[in-house]
Structure 1
Amino acid sequence: MGKRKPVSLLNRERAQRHEQQRPSKKQKKAAPQNGNAQAHQQQGNRAGGSSGGQQERGPRKQQQQLQGLRPTSAVHSQAAFAVRRLLEADASKRGGATLKSLTLAPHITAKKATYAVTVEALKHLPILQQLLERTQLVEQGQGLTHAVACVLAYEVLFGEGLRPTGPAERAVLKRKADLADALQQLLDAAGVQSAAELLPHPGPHTPHPRTARVNTIKMSVQEALDWLRAPPPEHRNKASCMPAHALAPQPGWALVDACAAPGNKTTHLAALMANRGSIVAFEKDPKRLERLRAIVAATGGTIISPQLADFLAVDPEAPQYRHVQAVLLDPSCSGSGTAFSRMDYLLPSSADRLKGGRAGWLPDKRVEALAQFQAACILHALRFPALHRLVYSTCSVHARENEGVVAAVLEEAAQRGFRLEAPFPGWPRRGVEGLVAGAERLVRVDADEDGTDGFFVAVFAKKEGEAVEEEEQQQQQQQGGSKRTQQRRKR
């Protein structure tokens, strides 16, 4: 594929095409003598008026109709785009868009301002939606989209204000008095003095401190403490460090990270193993694999071998995996536990998506499909011949992805000699009782109470003696098979 053309060049080409479509002087002379009418139509078109002007303006006007009025400020334009994408993803329940990726991406200008305006617009969304409905601002805004109207209405009422720099800004400023009256009506109806009193709870009850994991391959904890004036080497969510600690790998072990990218847990495993042993890290997406390789190289995890492969397509009984002792399985999940760190709690459906752990099942087709995939991954991982430890983890609060998945695989796991082990004995929050046998051995993290993202960890463990005996049997079978093959060749 060729390189994408710069935006300035694309705009220049659009302008050239537009100029080519404009009538020449000869065509204008040959046209009917209705210049005055055309002039009036064009003037009305500039003011957002007649349909005759729309036809004459051609593709440029059509593009404006499709996109709506755009703010002149880059911050407001980028914030409106982020709001639109987030609301669309939230309504579709497919995800794929996050606040940070839309406002802090490399191509975003004035990142901090864009992030701040987007957050505040989403925070005030319950109020703004009522105001837009009462004033009919979108319907009567001459091309304003819902997202643009939300961002600009926020600035007029709660932000730093607007200047009449473009059609979008002027359309909102024209209705400023109506918006203020509608806001006062809401306040009076609720019996409060300020808009802040109308807003829902802004986030978790417990503060979420910023945490960092020290990469002990590169430095000791004490060296990291001495270096606190500089940025920590790797910012991590505290809960996401739990799966590697629960697996408790020892130096020299052979491990598999089934769904490895971006690689934070993979490199954590390497550090816990003192960079001795081997870790095969699977990732099926080429772009995410490149990111995994970059993180592995940056952190010095020389025992990690990133491989482009779908874990479910890998044969656990292949000869190269016969010594795998432990598997870390952190597969795709709904990510509902990250609602606070991703600030998804600002979106309309957050109340539904934050249900789960204590509330039980969430009737959601996407969650159900993910749970079936997660269970398939666990059953696949249990097929490694020498396996004696498996950690299953998610950043989800939904019971269907957590206790529900464990319950679905528990019988087959038991048949293979595995039982649930209780990691972190001092951790107070455990699985939901009644949903699975042994729920007290599961680990849950509550984003609202524990000061970090919502998380779930389950440890499947086999007694050491049973694991060693099974591995010896596997080796004997393989040796016996090779001897029989040699005897056949001699014959």
Structure 2
Amino acid sequence: MALYMKAAEILEKAESKQGALKTLVYDSKFSNIKQLFALVCETHKFSSILEEIIESTKLLKQTKLRMHLAKVLTYDLLMGRGVKCGGNWKTVMMKHRSRLQAALARKKVKQRVSKNEDLLPSSALRPAGELLPRYVRVNTLKTTVEDTVDYLKRDGFSYLGQASKLDDLTLKKRDFVRDMYLPELLVFSPKTDFHEHFLYKAGHIILQDKASCLPAYLLNPPPGSHVIDACAAPGNKTSHLAAIMKNKGRLFAFDLDAKRLATMSTLQLRAGVTIHQLAHQDFLKLNPDSSQFKDVEYILLDPSCSGSGMVCLQDDDSTADQEKNQMRLASLASFQLRCLNHGLKFPSLKRLVYSTCSVHRQENEDVVTAGLQQNPDFRLVPLLPQWPERGIHPLNQCLRASSTKTRTHGFFVALLEKHIADKKCKQEPAVHFSAPEELPHSMSKCQKRTADSETSETEDKPTSAAVKTGNTPSKKKRKKKKKRTAATVDK
């Protein structure tokens, strides 16, 4: 019974984007990791098919089971080795076995297949060559990239230097490289496992997809700043922000799920984060004018989304479900826009990163466009000009990511910056990230005008030598004018 309960718990977390499936399994500390991992992986793979069978037989209504537990039990009953536990669950599942088997058979007949695997969409059967690399972010709160590379080399890995093109991320078993865009990211072959590695258990490395590292990296809050992570769990972006801030300043992290926050607290402790303030609270209910948030200048907003960019989560192509998905996308986009508009209300805000792990324009460019129209004081900042995939025109300043063009999960990132027309403003420079190795900043238009005016003022000023002698051009003219006036009076 413990196996099915734990598998259902992990399946639910994975499908609600609370973490990578493998990481969730290993972090569970379950006694038989391999058995748990196999059950969760297979159930996850057939998840949409199992859900359709469960709904068509009205299993939940008749058994009072929760969906994820029902999926795990149904998988083992129909496609696995049979329900292994005793007690009420086995009795219940055996009672409904014939109906569940009949539903599976009907689905096979409808799709004209004979094997369970043939029911899976082609997207779920990706060639091995398309597997994503294993990305590892070095946690600079506890170590350095150089020390981590040295440790891994002593541990038998072969370091090939910094990548310069996408093909460099196709790696053999023990090879690894440093990413071409994110300097604290190391890249390994797809099946490299770090869950039992010392560096992972000690919090020196974080297992995080490359695209997921972009929001904190691009927001780039300086040490000592006040930052909000609006929808924080599971917490990888929060720990990344803390590392960029060097554990100096204040980092407010909010999430509505109490269980996710509890898990997040453990992860932050392992990562050595000390500046975070976790709160089980709805970001939309925060008062931007509260004295607690008067100094917040940076916000990372990664709201709930469809998760359509996650390689393991695929949209159903059926016509009926497309209509259902469109309704869901419209609801999500409305929520995302409310979050964006709310984030832009904080009075001291300088920059806000908006990101999703969705591939749908409705959740990405459309939300950002509406947000900019409703908040004219903000503008988009161009990001990473070398990045191979851009936002859909005309939002080319934004970034997109995909398994084919960037070798990551599907992702979207936009950076919004407050724009003040006053040429004496002290707004921070916009972030262009023109070089992969460093984070240079270019001037905002406001600062450029200020700089230009200062240059012209400097050109108009007398030289230091003229000041010292007192013979500035203007003084000479005044003396001559006085002499001419005196002469006229004398006449």
TM-score band, normalised by the shorter chain? 0.5 to 0.7
Instruction: Report 1:53-452 matches (<5 A).
Output: 106=28, 110-120=32-42, 123=45, 151-152=76-77, 154-155=79-80, 200-201=121-122, 202-204=124-126, 206-228=130-152, 229=155, 230-232=198-200, 233=203, 234-340=206-312, 344-345=313-314, 350-351=316-317, 362-365=325-328, 367-413=329-375, 415-416=376-377, 418-433=378-393, 438-452=394-408
Q: Distance in 1 between matches of 2:227 and 2:18?
A: 30
Distance 1:245 1:104, change over 3 A: closer
Structure-2 change in CA distance of 1:350 and 1:109 (3 Å): farther
- The amino acid that maps onto 1:402 is N
Instruction: Specify the alignment match of 2:415 in structure 1.
Output: 459
Closer/same/farther in 2, CA of residues 108 and 424 from structure 1, 3 Å limit? same
**What's the counterpart of residue 479 of structure 2?**
none
C-alpha distance after superposition, 1:369-399 (max 9, x if no partner):
2221211111111112222211001112222
Amino acid at match of 2:410: G
Aligned residue for 1:444, secondary structure, equals strand
Deviations 1:165-222 (A, max 9, x none): 9999xx9xxx9xx99xx9xx99xx87x9x98778643345622121111111111111
Pairwise CA distance, 1:257: 1.8
8 A Cα contact 2:43 2:72, kept in partner: no
Q: Which has the higher contact order (CA 8 A, sep 6+)?
A: 1
Q: CA contact under 8 A between 2:401 and 2:409: conserved in structure 1? A: yes
Unaligned runs of 5+ in 2: 54-58, 60-69, 156-197, 428-491
- Give deviations 1:1-38, integer Å, cap 9, x for gaps: xxxxxxxxxxxxxxxxxxxxxxxxxxxxxxxxxxxxxx
**Secondary structure at 1:363's aligned position in 2?**
helix
Q: CA separation in 2, counterparts of 1:467 and 1:412?
A: 23
Please list every run of 5 or more consecutive structure 1 residues that lacks an aligned counterpart in the other structure: 1-72, 132-137, 139-144, 472-491
Distance in 2 (CA, whole Å) between partners of 1:450 and 1:270 is 26
% identical equivalent positions: 36
Greater Cα shift, 267-276 or 461-470: 461-470
Provide the C-alpha distance between the structure 2 equivalents of 1:280 and 1:129, rounded to a whole number of angstroms.
37
The 4+ residue runs of structure 1 with deviation greater than 6 A are 77-83, 94-105, 124-131, 165-168, 194-198
Equivalent position SS for 1:213 = strand
Q: How far 1:237 sits from its partner (Å)?
A: 1.6
Partner deviation per Cα, 1:31-60 (whole Å, 9 max, x = no partner)? xxxxxxxxxxxxxxxxxxxxxxxxxxxxxx
Deviation at 1:323, TM superposition (A): 2.6
1:299 shift after superposition: 2.4
Mark the CA change 1:105 to 1:300 in structure 2 (over 3 Å): closer, same or farther. Answer: closer
TM-score (norm. length: structure 1): 0.57
Q: For the structure 1 residues 380 and 115, does the alpha-carbon distance in structure 2 shift closer, same or farther, using more than 3 Å as the test? A: same
Greater CA deviation, 389-398 or 98-107?
Answer: 98-107
Aligned counterpart, 2:489 = none
Please state how far the C-alpha of 1:113 moved relative to its aligned partner.
2.1
CA distance in structure 1 between the partners assigned to 2:316 and 2:345 by the alignment:
38
How many residues end up aligned between the 2 structures? 354
- What's the offset of the Cα at 1:315? 1.7
1:50 corresponding residue in structure 2: none
Q: Partner amino acid for 2:34? A: K
Instruction: Return the offset for 1:457.
Output: 0.5
Aligned alpha-carbon RMSD (Å):
5.0
Structure ranking higher in helix proportion: 1
Partners of 2:140 and 2:18 lie apart in 1 by 33
Structure 1 pair 282/304, CA: closer, same or farther in 2 (3 Å)? same
